[in-house]
């Protein structure tokens, strides 16, 4: 009986009661006939969708059962959302899908579609990717469009996947026990770890990239179901056919999230501008965000009001209608390459998760009303009314599936779990420095060999190595141009980077040289800028987005933390989003700014596992470090933040006005290998004997510390200045070696005393057993104020000199 809280037993009992009350069909219908006279689904197809829905429902019941004795770790289920089985059936299995966590039925159907498309060649037949691929030009046949296999069999593999995720089995095929997600590369299902819309900006980026790559010159030849763009080390394999559309599902409460607003706005903005974004957003609306109701009519009004996004709606309790509307929506997006949203009305059964007591916020009448709209029961009712099956036959299928799911659950219980910290982090951020170095060497060989003529043309007949000493900004500009030449799939984008050439001129001229398809301006929204990069990387590009100021990154930081850095971790490298994010930041701008243009906080970046953070201080470091980041992104799928000190962009002098000692020549390709800067290696400057003091610093601190070291040298103090260059991973070996050499360490940290880089340096020294003297000079725990007041909270050369003298006096 129904209680005031919908339990697994309630749900099972109610379903059985519903089927028992169904009358026998007046006559039987041929499975090959439409389920109703004008339906787009045959009886066989609808019966197969019923089996997918039942499999999803039984997986939810199994999840609660596993949790009841401490062997299941995830109980957010799909009950009430099983109408998304019809959504999956109306799409192609090669349409990449980013699914929210109530997508069990969708996942089952997608797995069955792919299994049905997979050929079984003779044992001695050669395999061919092109031959194995489904025809991208054909419309999908729903699972079961042939003679129905029957019951649970087509969904067994999907069920095992889901159960493995519930019990955190290390044999789970996508995350390997790190999280319960819907994802598998061969199903074109991209794992997402949340339903709160943080994956929507990525979906827009994927749509933009799929369309851009589709329009590229066909010199990038078709291979299998994907497109190969370019050649050599710069080649990218796009795993989806050129007319694919991107599908992204989320809950109704998520329409209110800033990330969703950003995604809808960006898709509409690009559509208004005439650029194509083939994305189908699927909003599964059960009316609740845990316990918070969506006001009646709000979701529809919100979705209908999105400019540039076409609105479709369907009732998830009507599988035939849902299938027809999804077909219409998908065909529209596929044909016109424009964004649309499918508003799918659903219900939620059994609460948000296992611990959710619905009686605290829902009445028994509401729960009963939802049970009356159970989509699995609705499909069963339609099958019986149409004469496709009897209630007894459907109940037998339901029970057989339940028994098979329970059997699989017992099997996966015995599978191994992740056994160590090393196992957990193994997929986080692979580092293959030898391959990265080789990629840099290959780039150098191409630049000086077969690509030399194109390179000379791109630089107007005067390569940068012939241009004389450069500033930091000029060196970065030249390195970006070299990167665009070597990586055909690379794109540089952000606010003001194209026509204007960047607020500080760092990207000046790149759009003219490489075209608006590869260097382009975006709308003013950092979440969308990063989302475009995430999707583009996933689609096979090498994105280099720019965040105009470090202070502007913080409102979009979760796109790096929750989306970018987690992709390889939660997919064991099956998916990756290589990206080099350029960020202008740190303090010391003269005559301009205050906090928003002089942000000196990087703690939020250093806290992201696996993220690479590069801070080039000198022009002769900037180019090789950027080449390393690009190579690491291409080779290892790394997510790199290239933090550029604004105050050093146009600096020319070091010790005295006019000395030009902060300038440096640009290296010619033949010297790139010798000048390669591996991730996590510092640079050391030795002043005088270099035996008395070690200063460890980065960014603006390098220039100030070198000036302080010159003053100390006049006092007979020999100093070694260590430029960290990499804030993550820290160059720990170099820190320990150079600190031990003098026994006196001054850490000069232009970020803040609390949460600053200096804390990490001191911790590294302590962990290594360093027993010498150590002292910090760091910024005050304050935002940076406007004008001369900034000097009171920032590190100065005088503070460095005084700190060194204090340390030496011990």
Active centre residues (catalytic): 526, 597
Please choose, from the candidates 337, 334, 323, the residue with its C-alpha nearest in 3D space to the C-alpha of residue 138.
334
Cis omega (within 30 of 0) for bond into 750? no
- Please check whether residue 428 is in contact with residue 181, taking contact to mean a CB–CB distance below 8 angstroms: no
Round to whole Å and give the CA distance between 313 and 325.
Answer: 7
Residue recorded with tokens 């409460």: 253
Round to whole Å and give the CA distance between 268 and 21.
Answer: 48
Spatial neighbors of 92 by CB under 8 A, at least 6 apart, are 134, 136, 139, 140, 244, 330
Residue 172: exposure state from Cβ atoms within 10 A (0-12, 13-18, ≥19): buried
- In the DSSP assignment, the letter for residue 563 is I
Tokens of 198: 């943080």
Sign of CA dihedral 122, 127, 130, 134: positive
Distances in Å between the Cα of 249 and the Cα atoms of 132, 190, 203, 343 are 28, 11, 10, 10
Please choose, from the candidates 807, 806, 783, 779, the residue with its C-alpha nearest in 3D space to the C-alpha of residue 795.
779
Biggest distance spanned by C-alpha atoms of the chain: 105
Tokens of 331: 């065909």
Tokens of 212: 């851009």
Please choose, from the candidates 114, 340, 134, the residue with its C-alpha nearest in 3D space to the C-alpha of residue 247.
340
What is the Cβ-side half-sphere exposure of residue 648, based on CA atoms within 13 angstroms? 29
490-494 vs 612-614, strand pairing mode: unpaired
Spatial neighbors of 767 by CB under 8 A, at least 6 apart, are none
Backbone angles phi, psi at 519, to 5 degrees: -135, 110
């Amino acid at each position: 009986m129904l209680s005031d809280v919908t339990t697994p037993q309630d749900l099972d009992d109610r379903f059985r009661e519903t089927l028992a009350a169904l009358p026998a069909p007046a006559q039987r219908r041929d499975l090959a006939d439409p389920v109703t006279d004008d339906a787009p689904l045959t009886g066989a197809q609808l019966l197969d969708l019923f089996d997918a829905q039942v499999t999803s429902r039984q997986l939810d019941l199994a999840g609660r059962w596993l949790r009841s004795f401490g062997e299941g770790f995830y109980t957010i289920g799909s009950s009430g959302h099983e109408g998304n089985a019809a959504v999956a059936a109306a799409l192609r299995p090669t349409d990449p899908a980013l699914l929210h966590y109530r997508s069990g039925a969708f996942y089952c159907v997608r797995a069955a579609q792919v299994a049905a498309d997979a050929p079984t060649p003779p044992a001695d037949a050669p395999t061919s990717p092109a031959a194995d691929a489904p025809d991208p030009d054909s419309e999908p046949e729903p699972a079961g469009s042939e003679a129905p296999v029957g019951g649970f069999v087509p969904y067994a593999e999907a069920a095992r996947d889901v159960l493995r995720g519930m019990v955190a089995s290390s044999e789970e095929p996508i995350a390997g026990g790190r999280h319960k997600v819907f994802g598998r590369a061969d199903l074109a299902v991209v794992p997402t770890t949340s339903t709160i819309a943080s994956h929507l900006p990525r979906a827009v980026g994927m749509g933009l990239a799929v369309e851009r790559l589709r329009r590229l010159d066909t010199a990038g030849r078709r291979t299998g179901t994907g497109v190969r763009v370019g050649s050599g080390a710069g080649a990218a394999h796009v795993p989806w056919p050129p007319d694919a559309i991107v599908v992204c599902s989320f809950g109704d409460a998520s329409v209110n999230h800033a990330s969703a607003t950003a995604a809808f706005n960006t898709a509409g903005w690009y559509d208004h501008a005439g650029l194509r974004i083939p994305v189908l957003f699927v909003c599964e609306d059960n009316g609740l965000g845990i316990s918070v109701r969506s006001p009646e009519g709000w979701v529809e009004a919100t979705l209908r009001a999105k400019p540039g996004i076409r609105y479709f709606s369907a009732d998830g309790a009507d599988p035939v209608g849902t299938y027809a509307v999804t077909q219409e929506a998908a065909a529209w997006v596929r044909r016109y390459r424009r964004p649309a949203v499918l508003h799918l009305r659903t219900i939620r059964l059994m609460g948000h998760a296992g611990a959710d007591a619905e009686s605290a916020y829902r009445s028994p009448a509401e729960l009963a009303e939802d049970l009356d709209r159970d989509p699995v029961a609705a499909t069963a009712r339609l099958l019986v009314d149409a004469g496709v099956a009897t209630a007894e036959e459907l109940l037998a299928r339901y029970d057989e599936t339940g028994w098979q799911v329970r059997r699989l659950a017992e099997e996966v219980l015995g599978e191994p779990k992740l056994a160590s910290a090393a196992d957990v982090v193994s997929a986080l951020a692979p580092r293959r420095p030898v391959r990265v170095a080789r990629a840099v060497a290959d780039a150098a060989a191409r630049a000086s060999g077969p690509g030399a003529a194109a390179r000379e043309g791109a630089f107007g007949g005067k390569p940068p190595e012939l241009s004389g000493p450069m500033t930091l900004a000029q060196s970065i500009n030249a390195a970006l141009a070299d990167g665009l030449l070597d990586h055909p799939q690379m794109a540089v984008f952000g606010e003001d980077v194209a026509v204007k050439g960047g607020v500080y001129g760092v990207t000046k001229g790149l759009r003219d040289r490489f075209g608006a398809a590869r260097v382009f301006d975006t709308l003013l929204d950092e979440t969308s800028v990063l989302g475009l990069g995430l999707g583009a990387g996933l689609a096979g590009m090498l994105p280099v987005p720019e965040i105009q100021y470090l202070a502007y990154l913080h409102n979009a930081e979760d796109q790096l933390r929750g989306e970018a850095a987690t992709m390889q971790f939660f997919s064991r490298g099956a998916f990756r989003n290589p990206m080099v994010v350029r960020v202008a930041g740190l303090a010391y701008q003269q005559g301009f700014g205050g906090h928003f243009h002089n942000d000196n906080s990087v703690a939020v970046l250093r806290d992201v596992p696996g993220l690479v953070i590069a801070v080039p201080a000198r022009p002769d470091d900037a180019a090789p470090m950027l080449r390393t980041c690009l190579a690491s992104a291409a080779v290892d799928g790394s997510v790199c933040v290239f933090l550029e000190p604004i105050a050093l962009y146009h600096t020319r002098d070091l010790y005295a006005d006019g000395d030009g000692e902060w300038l440096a020549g640009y290296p010619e390709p033949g010297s790139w290998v010798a000048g390669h800067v591996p991730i996590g290696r510092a640079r050391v400057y030795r002043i005088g004997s270099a035996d008395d003091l070690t200063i460890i610093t980065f960014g603006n601190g390098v220039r100030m510390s070198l000036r302080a070291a010159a003053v100390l040298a006049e006092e007979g103090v020999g100093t070694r200045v260590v430029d960290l260059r990499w804030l993550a991973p820290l160059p720990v070996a170099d820190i320990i070696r150079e600190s031990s050499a003098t026994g006196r360490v001054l850490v000069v940290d232009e970020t803040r005393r609390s949460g600053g880089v200096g804390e990490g340096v001191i911790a590294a020294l302590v962990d290594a057993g360093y027993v010498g003297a150590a002292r910090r000079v760091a910024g005050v725990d304050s935002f940076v104020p406007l004008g001369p007041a900034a000097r009171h909270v920032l590190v100065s050369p005088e503070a460095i000199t005084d700190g060194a003298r204090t340390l030496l006096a011990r």
